[in-house]
């Protein structure tokens, strides 16, 4: 797959994840708006699943796609944590202080993942604190693995380039 098609495919998957996050209903009310949002969410989930399966198939054929899968996985996991935090807030408003919207939830998730912790949004309830703790543990393990994978990939690319330069300078 050419470079621009690869990045377009990746961008479409990421856009589907973001759109899915914004349309998945939070309440269980059965009024028309929630039903239509639910149908859109299911359709997007099916498209997203097809895109991820395609990404995995491409990954098996092309090892340079490790980074693509890593990006999709990070965005997907952060989106799931954001959604869960937002659901906690909707169903029990005492779980978080300063978290009112989906954007607040995404902001809090990314601040936690980046270990910034501004303090403007924070977990107050025990359920929320437990889930934030789970995210912290996941982030340490997953981000550590991601850094190791990217580091290995960069070293491999640098080694290939160095060998190419050596071959150009000293042809046999």
CA dihedral 154, 155, 157, 158 (to 10 degrees): 110
Predicted local confidence at residue 60, as pLDDT: 62
> What whole-number distance in Å separates Cα of residue 67 and Cα of residue 20?
22
The pLDDT tens digits for 49-107 are 777 676 666 666 666 666 777 777 788 888 888 988 998 888 889 999 999 999 999 99
The structure tokens listed for 149 are 């994978």
How high is the pLDDT of residue 88?
Answer: 87
pLDDT tens digits, one per residue of 108-162: 999 998 888 888 999 999 999 998 998 898 888 877 777 787 788 788 878 888 8
Average pLDDT (4-32) is 79
Query: In b/e form, how buried is each residue of 101-122, taking b as 16+ CB within 10 angstroms?
Result: ebebbbbbbebbbeeeeeeebb
Instruction: Flag whether pLDDT at 8 surpasses 70.
Output: yes
- Which domains, and CATH codes, for the chain? 3-169 (1.10.287.70)
Per the DSSP assignment, residues forming a β-bridge with 96 are: 123
Confidence of residue 26 (pLDDT cuts 50, 70, 90): confident
Mean pLDDT of 160-171: 78
pLDDT higher at 43 or 108:
108
């Amino acid at each position: 797959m050419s470079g621009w098609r690869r990045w377009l495919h990746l961008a479409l998957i990421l856009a589907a994840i973001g759109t899915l996050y914004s349309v998945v209903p939070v309440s269980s009310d059965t009024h028309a708006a929630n039903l239509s949002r639910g149908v859109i969410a299911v359709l997007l989930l099916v498209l997203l699943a097809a895109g991820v399966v395609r990404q995995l198939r491409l990954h098996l054929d092309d090892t340079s796609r490790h980074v693509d899968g890593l990006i999709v996985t990070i965005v997907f996991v952060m989106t799931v944590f954001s959604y869960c935090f937002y659901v906690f807030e909707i169903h029990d408003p005492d779980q978080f202080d300063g978290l009112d919207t989906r954007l607040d939830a995404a902001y809090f998730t990314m601040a936690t993942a980046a270990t910034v912790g501004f303090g403007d949004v924070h977990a107050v309830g025990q359920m929320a604190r437990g889930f934030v703790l789970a995210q912290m543990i996941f982030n340490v393990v997953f981000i550590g693995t991601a850094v190791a994978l990217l580091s290995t990939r960069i070293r491999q690319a640098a080694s290939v380039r160095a060998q190419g330069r050596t071959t150009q300078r000293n042809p046999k």
